[in-house]
Amino acid sequence: MVSESRYDVIDRFTQARMAQPDCISFRDFRMGPRDDNTIAISTRREHKDQACVLPAAGSCDFLSGLINLPDVNWTDAEIQTVKDVRNELSCKVEPEHSE
């Protein structure tokens, strides 16, 4: 279970990323050319879902930004899970100060 304060930080980050033009709807993703190594992100607020699909580069950037969010205090296991997904996506990751 994620605390409300952690959820709020992650939710704000996710919503900001979903507002970018390269985060396309599921409908558009299904109808257009499909890129390998994509991820879907979503939020749920007051029984309303919002979701989109990120292209490969956007997926990698999202995951790197996610584990470097301030005030989330990820556990080592949580960080490793995100890093494992980045590896599966073949993300090229430059070391950051908190990794």
pLDDT digits (tens, 9 = 90+) for 15-32: 999 999 888 887 777 666
**What secondary structure letter does DSSP report for 34?**
P
In eight-state DSSP terms, residue 92 is -
- H/E segment holding residue 41: strand 39-45
What one-character DSSP code corresponds to residue 10?
H
Structural domain includes residue 64: yes
What does the pLDDT read at residue 59? 92
**70 within some domain:** yes
**Does residue 35 surpass a pLDDT of 70?**
no
pLDDT of 95 strictly over 90: no
3 state SS of 53 = strand
**Mean pLDDT within 33-37:** 67
In a domain? residue 42? yes
Q: Is residue 94 part of a domain?
A: no
Q: Is the dihedral of CA 47, 3, 79, 17 positive or negative?
A: positive
* Residue 72, in any domain of the structure: yes
Q: Note whether residue 32 is domain-resident.
A: yes
Beta pairing partners, 49: 44
Domain count, the chain: 1
Q: What is the domain range of residue 67?
A: 4-88
Domain assignment present for residue 93? The answer is no
Q: Write out the two tokens for 79.
A: 């960080």
Distance of CA 72 to the CA centre of its chain: 14
Examine residue 43 and state whether it is found in any structural domain, yes or no.
Answer: yes
First to last CA, the chain: 23
pTM of the model: 0.78
Give CA–CA dist 47/99, Å, rounded: 34
